[in-house]
A and B are shown apart, each in its own frame.
Chain A
Amino acid sequence: MSAPLFVLNDIGFAYGSGRRVLDGASLTLGPGDRVGLTGGNGAGKTTLLHLMVGLHKPDRGRLRAFGQDRVREPDFHAVRLRTGLLFQDPDDQLFSATVGEDVAFGPFNRGWSRDRVAAAVRDTLDRLGLSGYEGRVTHHLSHGEKRLVCLATILAMAPEVLLLDEPTDGLDADHAARLEMILADHPAARIIVSHDADFLARSTTRRLRLAHGRVREG
């Protein structure tokens, strides 16, 4: 088996309020893995995804990503450029005035040339059935369209890992089916957080459950 992308070992994390969310959570994600993560409300699913890209720092345990230990903020910059995190609320993720600019933001930060960024924006939007959306103003979009644009903003960066937080939440059947199809065709390894058991059964090969701060099979 090839080298794992993420290795989380005995991770602990508590919020400032003292509420302990993660208590000895361990997880390994290899290339091509399709993991579905479930757990009750407040079990720490979102927290776990945020920890993996350094938006929270664990108070114990070891986090390796792409073959290196990641501890401090600068360590995570490279992790973030290779990992696409889809947030729960699209209004948090889409901050640019127009769709084109939002999709271009990540590729620009990867240091790509203007031409390459423009090509990536065009290709990604085409692939997601959003051709011609470049100039659309973000806050005029419907919730379903915003969700797909969010996905476009992370797919445009050509990520090796996708961390998707409730990707089908609030989507109608049509948009949900489109999103599922796009994800099925993408080669990146992924962790999908969802309460939709059918969706997870179709789009992931391994199910994990987060409870009492730990990750269990099933």
Chain B
Amino acid sequence: MTLLRPLVSRSFLARTDPRVRLTSGLALAILLACLHDPRALSAGAAAMALLCVAGRIPLAPLGRRILRVNLVLLALVPFLLLNPADGPGLLPRWTLSAGQAGIVARVLLKGNAIVLAISALISTIEATALGHALSHLRVPTKLVHLFLFTVRYVDVLHLEHERLRRALRARGFRPRPSPRTWRILGQTAALVLARSVDRADRVLAAMRCRGFQGRFFLLDHFQARRSDAVFALAMASVAALLIWIGRP
């Protein structure tokens, strides 16, 4: 398996019911997105960082994630300078006003807190378990199965693509900035697409052979325990605390 790798945690996080992790992760992410008070946001980021550390999330992939998110957020800063609502005149001022600096700080805090929350609570769920959790949370069956089919076949397609690339390289192909390279890469992509359509036909045939008539089934997988309730309560308390800190 190469794609769709979850952040592997061997702590209490991994043992918590995926439904609880999914709902608390979503709720906290939405709450953090709605908070404005810098103190509440700092507290939120700190709490989520603490959760990542306590949950023993592997630091290297987490660090890469955080880096990427911050690069995107910083790339957005220049657009703040163009905001005409902040001062008279059409020409941008090339310095940040105090208010703008505050906005930047809040956006960075918010972004990082949300990434940490999602990394600790949602990214630790295995893709398959995530699909099942979604279905138990009454997400429409068709969407859940679309997701599960994607999980099942994204690697198969990826391997097919890798095979084609190896075949190209084995006969001495090296990508260069040339029209020929673009044509060949385009053909490879088209071939992956064509093969996946063929595969979809064969998969449907296999499903019909086992009596498929449009209905899907999932086996039950989860059993909530007392520790899950404790975890949910803890997350709710964090949320309540953040709301209290951020009260107007």
Contacts and interface: CB of A to CB of B under 8 A. Distances in A.
A154 B210 contact: yes
A53 interface: yes
Contacts of B149: 95
B128 A137 contact: yes
Contact of B210 (A55, A91, A92, A105): A105
B230 interface: no
B206 A101 contact: no
B219 A80 contact: no
A118 B199 CA distance: 29
Contacts of A55: 205, 208-209
A92 B211 contact: no
B205 A157 contact: no
B210 A101 contact: no
Interface residues of B, number: 29
B217 interface: yes
Interface in B138-174: 148-149, 151-153, 155-156
Nearest to B132: A97
Interface residues of A, number: 37
A50 B208 CA distance: 11
B190 interface: no
Interface string A95-118: 111101100111011100000001
A199 to B, nearest CB: 23
B75 interface: no
B194 to A, nearest CB: 15
Contacts, number: 81
A50 B205 contact: yes
A97 B219 contact: no
A56 B147 CA distance: 29
Given A92-B203, A104-B219, A77 B209 contact: no
29 contacts: A55-B205, A55-B208, A55-B209, A80-B211, A85-B206, A87-B206, A91-B156, A92-B199, A92-B203, A92-B206, A95-B149, A95-B203, A97-B148, A97-B152, A100-B219, A101-B219, A105-B207, A105-B212, A106-B210, A106-B211, A108-B215, A109-B211, A137-B128, A138-B152, A139-B1, A139-B152, A153-B210, A154-B210, A157-B210
For the complex of A and B, the 6 pairs showing the least CB-CB separation, nearest first, are A109-B211, A106-B210, A97-B128, A92-B202, A108-B217, A93-B206
Given A93-B206, A137-B128, A140-B1, 15 more contacts: A55-B208, A77-B211, A77-B213, A81-B211, A89-B202, A91-B156, A92-B199, A95-B203, A96-B152, A97-B151, A105-B212, A137-B126, A139-B152, A154-B210, A157-B210
